[in-house]
A and B are shown apart, each in its own frame.
Chain A
Amino acid sequence: MRISGRAKTGEFQFACGEGERILYAGLHQGVPLPYECASGTCGTCRARLASGKIKELWPDAPGRKHVKPEREEFLMCQATAVDDCEILVPAKIPLDEVQQPRYNLPGELIGFNPCTHDVATFSVRLSEPIQFHAGQFVVIHVPAVGGYRAYSMTNYAQTTNRLDFVIKKMPGGGFSEWLFEADREGTRVNVFGPLGAATLSAEDGGDFLCIAGGSGIAGMMSILSFAEQQDVLTQRNAQVFFGVRTLNDRFFLDELSRFARKFPDRVRITVALSDEEVTSAYAESEGLYYESGFVHEVAGRHIPENSEHLITFIAGPPPMVDGAIRMLLVKHRIPATRIRYDKFS
């Protein structure tokens, strides 16, 4: 099927295979369609069907609250083309810029490993290597579960066919419950990506700050690995704030400790406990700092004056992300252009 589109910056065309999602088809062919979650929640990829026929794949997608079906609006991440289509995309997209390669690849689940009572790591071995930026995510499709779920990579390599992830078991979360309830080693999956704009590049100047709640630490781990590999941490400082409820909810301690110990003058990592009093502000054996409170509040107490140069990364539950943005914008006057996060809600 042929998709002909018009955005506010011009026109574009691409092919959409049978059953292929319109958003993924466009991104795969280098059309910079607007998106954020790419998984049906945020509504950013809304478009209007001007002619032709589509099939909506998830009529109850939360992101549909942003579209007006009576005006033929739909979510490109949750629709496939049944016929040649003309679509309108209400966004200014950089049609002239070369896009990073985006892959649509089979892979298999490997290495499921519980970290806490409700958090585990797992990996996907792809059929061929890909490139991605530190901080990006992919969407994963398991035929037995249906739909695509977004997960940020925790690892970084310039080219790799292994993607590492962290997942929290969510009640009613189809993929996480499926993954936790039985041995899924070797299960075939499909992966589309990489996606997401909350990335760190070697060209970025300035120190950086990461504020993560729970499994939101995933992209920060990738960013730290990138910074280590690219020699960024010998020149720039990194502060990481990792929020969990209690000491028993911590994970990635070994990895975080390794960064803190390897770069003691550059990297400071603080674990914020929201539901437990901290008895020791510094764990000598880990090289990690501890503080009670919500992670964005703890972070706010440690951001120095004159921090306009900071690049900040935020990931976690929506209330935490909103709280962190308000703190950075209002209290610390950090420009919106230096706040990086991907909105999943």
Chain B
Amino acid sequence: MTWKKVCSTDTVEKNTLKLFDVEGVPILVGNLGDGEFRAYPPVCPHMEEPLEESGICEEGILTCTKHLWQFDMRNGEPMGPAERPLLIYDAKAEDGHVWVYVERELEYEFDDDDDDDFEF
């Protein structure tokens, strides 16, 4: 897969998240409110809560209300008590649409992490 047209930019309101099915891959599109859009897997990396329901976006910060893990919407980096980053797809707003680069479905693994090897 390559760049996929996911939705028109006015489909996702400012400071909200909306879930789309892109040829079988669930893509969560977030509107940062300043013309920028981002795309993530649909669940929180902590307990895999569905972020379309449990996520709150405010001033570029995504908060999962289940355990108050927070993330920088721009780059997915964890904030506060969050221990893992959000995975993130390349995304852009162009021609009034949100485009997402989907090479493969991004999924959270039990033991993956950005900062250590978690294997015996």
Contact = CB atoms under 8 A, between A and B. Distances in A.
Interface string A331-345: 001001101000100
B67 A48 contact: no
Contact of A329 (B58, B66, B116): B58
A336 B113 CA distance: 23
Given A326-B56, A330-B56, A8 B113 contact: yes
A91 B81 CA distance: 11
B34 to A, nearest CB: 17
A177 B32 CA distance: 48
Interface in B28-67: 47-48, 54, 56, 58, 63, 65-67
A343 B68 CA distance: 11
- Which interface class (under 10, 10 to 19, 20 to 34, 35 or more) fits A? 20 to 34
A91 B120 CA distance: 15
Main secondary structure of the interface of B (DSSP, over half): loop
Contacts of B56: 325-326, 329-330
Nearest to B53: A322
A333 B56 CA distance: 12
Given A325-B65, A336-B70, A330 B118 contact: no
B72 interface: no
Nearest to A324: B65
Contact of A330 (B58, B66, B115, B120): B58
A44 B47 contact: yes
Nearest to A322: B65
Interface string A39-80: 000011000101000000000000000101001010000000
A84 to B, nearest CB: 15
- Which 3 A-B residue pairs are closest in the complex by CB-CB distance? A336-B68, A325-B65, A92-B83
15 contacts: A8-B118, A43-B47, A66-B48, A90-B111, A91-B83, A92-B83, A322-B65, A326-B65, A329-B58, A329-B65, A333-B58, A336-B70, A336-B81, A339-B68, A343-B66
Given A8-B116, A92-B83, A326-B65, 17 more contacts: A6-B120, A43-B47, A44-B47, A44-B67, A48-B110, A48-B111, A66-B48, A73-B110, A90-B110, A90-B111, A325-B65, A325-B68, A329-B58, A329-B63, A330-B56, A336-B68, A343-B66
Interface of A: 6, 8, 36, 43-44, 48, 50, 66, 68, 71, 73, 86, 88, 90-92, 322, 325-326, 329-330, 333, 336-337, 339, 343
